[in-house]
């Protein structure tokens, strides 16, 4: 029988409805397995650990002051709903998950109703207010970095139940992991309270924080991570709240906080270089992500990125309002948040997060493939 006749008979026996059903089944399989036309790296999932910069709502389920599941947070999110993301909209990690072709939003692990697909394609364990210093998390009852790793261990068992042991092992091994915290250690725990200053000068405290960060990386590797993005610290002294608290009457960038961030970044990069040469890290890619310089460029040259204001947040006066002080009852918001680098006195706007995500995707992710 000719090829044309075969196609005609096939079309006659396999109707329009069956083609639609087959297409939908194949499309769903592609989504669940994490392979899309845009997913050039073939990344099955993404997992994140850290603080409020990447917490998509885990703190909604904590008794903590470090939460933002109320307006005006989320005013530019889908449906204009607050989700617990510390911004007016999406986070950098949402844009990264989308840019890697995984999914549009990275959900919090503690969300009440996580679908099997959510678990198969990755979640965030991040908790606003945490740090590498355990005291930082304890001060606000955030989930510590150790606690986040424990949640990851729990997640792995759930993943095996859904995907089977072989598929679960593949997902854990081939996914991208991102760690982003440490700002609260310096801004709040060291400079904001007396607890650590009585035992450490700033240099020895940074050694302590770096040591904990190294310990986190070792534990994450032991739990199966092989592709890790480690995000450095931003110019903490230029964050609006730190300008207000320590920048003098002119609210200038506070140099001691910026220097502390730079010292941490330098020391952790040296540690990462050492880890790469260890036998236990063979076959593992750990990439240091420099966030300090791009954020400093936002602040010093806002107009180059389409911003107009980089010294205060969009919420309220922009000088000190964050979390509970940034609310729709006592704090109005700026007319156009796309002109602002910062949403509140501590966290960037969705626009800034998007630019940062594009920068990470173009600069760092190719080294993970």
For residues 179-197, average pLDDT: 97
For residues 279-297, average pLDDT: 97
Q: Indicate whether 13 belongs to any domain.
A: no
Q: Indicate whether 34 belongs to any domain.
A: no
Q: By three-state DSSP, how is residue 43 classified?
A: coil
Q: 233-271, pLDDT tens digit by residue?
A: 999 999 999 999 999 999 999 999 999 999 999 999 999
Q: Indicate whether 169 belongs to any domain.
A: yes
Task: Give the domain CATH number at 203.
Answer: 3.40.50
For residues 126-136, average pLDDT: 98
Q: What is the pLDDT of residue 328?
A: 92
Q: Indicate whether 264 belongs to any domain.
A: yes
Q: What is the pLDDT of residue 222?
A: 97
- Helix (H), strand (E) at residue 287: strand 285-289
287 phi and psi angles, rounded to 5 deg: -110, 125
Q: Indicate whether 357 belongs to any domain.
A: no
357 and 91 Cβ atoms separated by less than 8 Å: no
Residue 4 has pLDDT above 60, yes or no: no
Q: Which domain holds residue 126?
A: 40-292
Residue 23 has pLDDT above 80, yes or no: no
- Burial of 262 by CB count in 10 Å (0-12 exposed, 13-18 middle, 19+ buried)? middle
Calculate the alpha carbon distances from 243 to 239, 258, 338, 339, 353 in Å: 6, 11, 21, 19, 21
Residue 36 has pLDDT above 60, yes or no: no
For residues 72-82, average pLDDT: 96
Q: Indicate whether 369 belongs to any domain.
A: no
176 and 43 Cβ atoms separated by less than 8 Å: yes
- Burial of 35 by CB count in 10 Å (0-12 exposed, 13-18 middle, 19+ buried)? middle
pTM for the whole structure: 0.88
Rg of the Cα trace of the chain?
22
Q: What is the pLDDT of residue 1?
A: 46
Longest alpha-carbon distance in the chain? 89
Structurally, how many domains does the chain consist of? 1
Orientation of helix 165-174 relative to helix 145-163, angle to 10°: 140
Q: What is the pLDDT of residue 366?
A: 85
Q: 138-148, pLDDT tens digit by residue?
A: 999 999 999 99
Q: 310-347, pLDDT tens digit by residue?
A: 999 999 999 999 999 999 999 999 999 999 999 999 99
Residue 92 has pLDDT above 50, yes or no: yes
CA dist 304 and 308 (Å) reads 9
Alpha helices in the chain (DSSP H): 3-13, 16-33, 92-99, 116-121, 134-140, 145-163, 165-174, 183-184, 202-222, 240-246, 255-276, 292-300, 350-363
Q: What is the pLDDT of residue 219?
A: 98
For residues 184-199, average pLDDT: 96
Residue 22 has pLDDT above 60, yes or no: no
Using 50, 70 and 90 to split pLDDT, how confident is the model at 41?
low
174 and 224 Cβ atoms separated by less than 8 Å: no
Q: Indicate whether 350 belongs to any domain.
A: no
Q: Indicate whether 319 belongs to any domain.
A: no
What residues act catalytically?
52, 344, 347
């Amino acid at each position: 029988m000719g090829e044309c006749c075969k196609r005609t008979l096939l079309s006659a026996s396999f109707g329009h409805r069956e083609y639609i059903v087959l297409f939908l089944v194949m499309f769903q399989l592609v989504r669940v397995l994490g392979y899309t036309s845009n997913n050039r790296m073939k990344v099955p999932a993404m997992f994140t650990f850290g603080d409020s910069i990447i917490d998509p709502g885990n703190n909604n389920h904590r008794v903590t002051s470090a939460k933002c599941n109320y307006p005006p947070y989320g005013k530019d999110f889908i449906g204009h709903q607050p989700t617990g993301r510390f911004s007016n909209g999406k986070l950098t990690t949402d844009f990264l998950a989308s840019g890697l072709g995984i999914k549009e939003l990275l959900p919090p692990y503690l969300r009440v109703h996580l679908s099997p697909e959510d678990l198969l394609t990755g979640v965030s364990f991040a908790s606003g207010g945490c740090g590498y210093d355990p005291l930082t998390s304890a001060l606000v009852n955030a989930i510590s970095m150790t606690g986040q790793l424990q949640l990851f261990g729990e997640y792995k068992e759930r993943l095996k139940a859904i995907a089977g042991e072989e598929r679960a092992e593949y997902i854990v091994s081939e996914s991208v992991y991102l760690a982003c915290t440490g700002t609260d250690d310096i801004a709040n725990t060291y400079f904001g309270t007396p607890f650590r200053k009585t035992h450490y000068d700033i240099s020895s405290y940074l050694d302590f924080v770096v040591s904990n960060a190294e310990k986190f990386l070792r534990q994450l590797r032991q739990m199966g991570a092989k592709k890790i993005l480690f995000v450095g610290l931003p110019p903490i002294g230029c964050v609006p709240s730190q300008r207000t608290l320590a920048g003098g009457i002119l609210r200038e960038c506070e140099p001691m906080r910026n220097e502390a961030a730079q010292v941490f970044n330098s020391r952790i990069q040296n540690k990462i270089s050492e880890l790469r040469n260890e036998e236990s890290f063979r076959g593992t890619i750990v990439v240091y992500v420099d966030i300090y310089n791009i954020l400093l460029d936002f602040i010093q040259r806002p107009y180059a990125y389409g911003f107009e204001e980089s010294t205060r947040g969009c919420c309220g006066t922009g000088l000190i309002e964050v979390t509970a002080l940034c609310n729709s009852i006592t704090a109005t918001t700026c007319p156009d948040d796309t002109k602002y680098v910062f949403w509140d006195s501590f966290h960037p706007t969705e626009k800034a997060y998007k630019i940062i995500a594009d920068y990470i995707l173009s600069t760092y992710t190719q080294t993970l493939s």
